[in-house]
Amino acid sequence: MQHDRRTPASPEGTGAAALPGRHFRVPRRWPKVLLGAGLTAAVAVAGGIVYAGATAVQINSNIHRSGILVDPAQSIQAVPKLTADTNILIMGMDSRLGEDGKPLPQDVYDALHAGGDDVGGYNSNVLMLVHIPADGSKATAISIPRDDYVVTAGFPGAGFKAKIKEAYGYALAAEQATLLRQGKPNDDATYQESRDAGRKAEIATVTKFLGSVHIDHFVEVTMAAFYQVAQVIAPITVCINRATKDTFSGADFKAGTQQIDAKQAVAFVRQRRDTSDPYYFFTDLDRERRQQAFIASVLHQLKQAGTLTDIPKMQSVFDAVSKNIAVDSGLDLIQLAQQATSLTGGNISFTTLPITGFGTSPEGASINTVDVAQVQATVKSLLAPPSASATPTPGSSTAAAVPAVVGTPAATDPAATTPSGVAPGAPAGSGAGGATTATPSPTQNSYADWTGALQGGGIPCVK
């Protein structure tokens, strides 16, 4: 397959030649959607296996580690760590390549239903901040909408506005151009150094946007990682409020609780439209709720099945994911495993940051408009809640803390209050392609839209 080696000018106006087989394109518009933040689940639940010392060594040898968060010279570390709590930034990449920058096997492309290795680029299309309190209280996962129009930071020429997901790609292209001008070889070392520049910029941009939030660790995942882990842990139980189809992502689901395979899992977390009903309105924000629900469902399912104590099973999970993720060099895998174990008990909630509406950038790209002060106030309230009594109940909408975008329906749909989490009159049944009906969890909860906090500890039913 012929690779597209073109790359646009960097913010400074200088071009950069792409490395062979690797795509440094940073287009303003992205016709495809990225794999969901369910990747987070793959990283978290797989952590259980690091309790085996020998396995931990193998994991460390497979995972790509980056030293960007331990380098005192990096500006992103200028944000002080004020508490003993841990903040982990999950970055899901738009690239249809592996973590090593090489094309994936064809069967993986077929399953992803997202184009081949000549599609996509280095956008952080999934951004989720996971806040784990040191005192063991409830963790919080904050989804950052990928199209939020923000001020970039962390790389030469930054300071202009772009979609928050694009900081990674801009910085990567700029660094690559600089290294090649300096005479560096067009090899893997230059590629990884450019990737580190992208990571620094994405973290710096997120940190600034959220209000100088210190990032302790990062986990970067590829599209392949999600699919490969889903293959190991499938069938996966999910719940959907009503039947829906989407030819773009390959989604084709019945209403109700059902079990899905790995290919269907990819479609579940990527769906952002319904092509069978023009009046059933989806947005990227609804897709983020899907991603949150997937993580909650997988964590709950693995706990119920005892998978986290099944060392051979978890060995397979981590073998699948470890080759397609990158983490900071300071991430303690055993500590992450311990934290992941507590989260399987439902000790986590998921919230999407507010936007003020949908708009268009000066370049013509579709964007989310945001009120930065509102976003930062929301983040502050989520990371340091005033009291436990403020915790929202399943299915409720916390509009005061997380205002809904104009035009997004409030969480008052009948399905949101149906005990089974299924819209009235909608039959539970088999999803297309082999999905089977599963027994609803007694702790199941339901959400009509993306607003409010989704609670862990069950199988959430979502749009």
Rounded to whole angstroms, how far apart are CA atoms 269 and 249?
Answer: 9
Q: Which two tokens stand for residue 149?
A: 């129009």
**C-alpha torsion 306→311→317→318, nearest 10:** 130
pLDDT value of position 326: 87
CATH number of the structural domain spanning residue 53: 3.40.630.190
Residue 4 lies in a domain: no
Rounded to whole angstroms, how far apart are CA atoms 32 and 17?
Answer: 24
Residue 1 lies in a domain: no
The secondary structure of residue 220, as a DSSP letter, is E
**C-alpha torsion 267→409→283→139, nearest 10:** -70
CB distance 384 to 431 below 8 Å: no
Which class for 443: exposed (0-12), middle (13-18), buried (19 or more C-beta within 10 A)? Answer: middle
Residue 8 lies in a domain: no
Residue 80 lies in a domain: yes
E strand or H helix that includes residue 208: helix 188-210
Rounded to whole angstroms, how far apart are CA atoms 215 and 223?
Answer: 23
Residue 221 β-bridge partners: 92, 325
Residue written as tokens 């060995």? 315
Rounded to whole angstroms, how far apart are CA atoms 55 and 58?
Answer: 5
Closest among 232, 306, 230, 309 to 268, alpha carbons compared? 230
Determine the structural domain holding residue 443 and report its residue range.
39-462
Rounded to whole angstroms, how far apart are CA atoms 148 and 66?
Answer: 26
pLDDT value of position 437: 45
Closest among 175, 141, 159 to 208, alpha carbons compared? 159
Q: Which two tokens stand for residue 336?
A: 């992450």
Q: Which two tokens stand for residue 244?
A: 């829906």
Residue 32 lies in a domain: no
Rounded to whole angstroms, how far apart are CA atoms 258 and 235?
Answer: 9
Residue 180 lies in a domain: yes
pLDDT value of position 394: 47
E strand or H helix that includes residue 191: helix 188-210
CB burial string 340-351: b at 16+ within 10 A, e below? bbebbebbbbbb
Rounded to whole angstroms, how far apart are CA atoms 36 and 290?
Answer: 8
Residues 81, 325, 332: CA angle, nearest 5 degrees: 40
pLDDT value of position 25: 42
**C-alpha torsion 443→448→450→452, nearest 10:** -60
Contacts of 11 (CB under 8 A, 6+ apart): 156, 157, 158, 160, 170, 174
CA neighbours closer than 13 Å in the CB half-sphere of residue 140 = 23
Which class for 450: exposed (0-12), middle (13-18), buried (19 or more C-beta within 10 A)? Answer: buried
pLDDT value of position 97: 65
Q: How many domains does the chain have?
A: 1
pLDDT value of position 46: 36
CA neighbours closer than 13 Å in the CB half-sphere of residue 281 = 7
Q: How many residues does the chain have?
A: 463
pLDDT value of position 405: 33
Percentage helix, strand, coil for the chain under 3-state DSSP, each rounded to 5: 35, 15, 50
Rounded to whole angstroms, how far apart are CA atoms 248 and 267?
Answer: 9
Rounded to whole angstroms, how far apart are CA atoms 166 and 122?
Answer: 8
Residue 145 lies in a domain: yes
Residue 313 lies in a domain: yes
pTM of the model: 0.76
Residuewise pLDDT in 10s, the chain (463 residues): 333 333 333 333 333 334 434 444 433 333 233 333 343 443 433 333 333 444 555 555 668 889 898 765 555 556 888 888 999 999 988 765 666 667 676 777 776 655 544 555 688 989 999 999 988 889 999 999 999 999 999 999 999 999 999 999 999 999 999 999 999 998 889 989 999 999 999 999 999 999 999 999 999 987 777 787 788 888 999 999 999 999 888 899 999 999 999 999 989 998 989 999 989 999 999 999 999 999 999 888 877 776 656 666 666 666 666 777 889 988 876 667 666 666 767 889 999 999 999 999 999 999 999 999 999 999 999 998 765 444 444 444 333 333 333 333 333 333 333 323 323 233 333 333 444 444 444 345 899 999 999 999 899 999 9
Closest among 63, 90, 144 to 353, alpha carbons compared? 144
Which class for 136: exposed (0-12), middle (13-18), buried (19 or more C-beta within 10 A)? Answer: exposed
The whole-angstrom distance between residue 181's C-alpha and the CA centroid of its chain comes to: 34
Question: DSSP per residue over 294-338, as a string?
Answer: HHHHHHHHHHHHTGGG-HHHHHHHHHHHHTTEEEETT--HHHHHH
